[in-house]
Structure 1
């Protein structure tokens, strides 16, 4: 089975994340997309970052109607701070019959060469890249790498930061969130302070 790993803090998950995940599931030749919730780094106290279990629950709520998209807490169980190369190695050991790929925005591709053991990732895993308006045309040598696949996905410029800031301001951002995620945030009074 071909699995696309879509990492993020998902603080909160929004419709932009779902549009990209669904596009990758339907048009990139992947069987499933695992939305890997990045755990809170205990060394970095970020007041706006919800606890891991709340962010995972929101991903679960957002994806339960999408059979090809699954929430994943795999990184919660790994030693912190963690690196993507370690997560990939752990997953390959745990699921030897699966083929794991990465999904990332074009902006992240620009800094891939700074990732720990990025050459190992490129040797062993495909990377599916979705376009970002904010990304500048750089790293053309990486874009032409045989393991890098630029996908003509919809450009979605919605950010979790924008959502958090505007919930705090009392703005109605409900259309930017899956309805169950909006209800969860509203019920728990998240991001209002």
Structure 2
């Protein structure tokens, strides 16, 4: 039986939590195994930490993943600089019953044209890109946080803290070995002790994010056996009853209730043997409403709601925005968890939470509604769906660029020029084609007219350099 293997190569100088998330994505993409292949001698002459130390750091960073993840040191056995095609050819020779796919990180994409026998390599194995690099159609891709090994090295060399980007074991190894100019100027705080109740999209994503940051929860709970099986892939104890878990498992500092807004945990008197901080990830209700039957003081209760889309239980929440609602003591106590998540907290008062979340929903989803309407209408005009999406994507990208560059003056179109005649013609034609979109157009025009900066125009159809955007060089 053929074994499908993702080969994830790189310098790993040092390996960071972004690399660990790549491994997770590859496992979830369906590969039987992931082989992580550190380069022995960089083909472009870049200096790296000694190979044995980088291999050991990889082992420390990935040892929690179990037997499906393997550190492959084959490049240390080959002569000369590490060339990917020679590595792949050697592995195919040694393992003819394996089907290899080459996983490439974003930082490797710019160098691909310089790779030795790159076209032969493309013909030999399929590519699977990870990151935000420019891949060609037909080559699968996943996205990871934008972490940089060079930035981590710079932080160590300048005496700054790099622990947020590294598994704790890797950080301690670097400091002990004095790699990258590191010195034990201060000890790293122990990661927060957490537990997660509910392993849906938010709970599963928090589990993944904490694990890849080297701060795996001590336990989790969910009645769904499939979700518990997913959690056990991270080597985290999984229970079907959170109250049983609390009594049986080690003490935690934070209990994260990633449960529906309507769910109300209830315990009997005398249940608590400790006083963990209890956080709910929903945004609908006040902490006192969600936790009305827990019997804990108000300063131990709060809301930690991700202010972003969480499309799956494998979404990295590292670096995300979270709205936080709770008392002043709660806001202070939650800081270690936020630091571990590299999260930015947005304090939201209880009475403001509905407006805050309404504005978040509007900002997060409003543009997509309009963009989909534009794609549909372009398609009805005879433009192919793929071309319609490309056109809308380019329009949105250019408009956002202008907005960030020029502020309100970066808007364009008849609204800004106060060209009522053209705007009325737009509405009239849209009404014939799609009345619902015409109404949206009219409402947007009215709202925009209240706050957009008018741009004086003598020509209703300005040429390059005469409108709101600067000429491109």
Q: TM-score, normalised by structure 1?
A: 0.83
Contact 1:40 1:51 (8 Å CA) reproduced: no
* 1:16 matched residue in structure 2: 18
* Cα separation, partners in 2 of 1:55 and 1:113, compared to 1, 3 Å: same
Distance of 1:91 and 1:23 partners within structure 2: 22
Match of 1:105 in 2: 105
Q: 1:51 deviation in Å?
A: 0.7
For 1:113 and 1:155, the matched residues in 2 are separated by 23
Q: Which residue of 2 aligns with 1:168?
A: 157
The residue correspondences of 1:20-169 to structure 2 (distance < 5 A) are 20-27=22-29, 29-41=30-42, 44=45, 46=47, 49-67=48-66, 68-106=68-106, 108-109=108-109, 111-132=111-132, 135=133, 137=134, 143-144=136-137, 146=138, 148-149=139-140, 151=141, 153-169=142-158
Q: CA deviation at 1:183?
A: 1.1
8 Å CA contact retained: 1:4, 1:32: yes
Residues 174-193 of structure 1 correspond to what in structure 2 (within 5 A)? 174-192=163-181
Count of aligned pairs? 179
Rounded Cα–Cα distance in structure 2 between residues aligned with 1:43 and 1:107: 14
How many angstroms does 1:160 deviate by? 0.9
* Closer/same/farther in 2, CA of residues 42 and 35 from structure 1, 3 Å limit: closer
Which structure is higher in RCO with an 8 Å CA cutoff and minimum separation 6?
A: 1
Name the TM-score, length of structure 2 as normaliser: 0.36
Pairwise CA RMSD of aligned residues? Answer: 2.2
Task: State the distance in 2 between where 1:182 and 1:108 align.
Answer: 24
After alignment, is 111-120 or 2-11 more displaced? 111-120
Gaps in structure 1 of 5+ consecutive residues:
none
List gaps (5 residues or longer) in structure 2: 183-473
The secondary structure found in structure 1 opposite 2:65 is coil
Q: 1:36, 1:74 within 8 Å by CA — same for their partners in 2? A: yes
Indicate if the aligned counterparts of 1:41 and 1:80 stay in contact, CA closer than 8 A: no
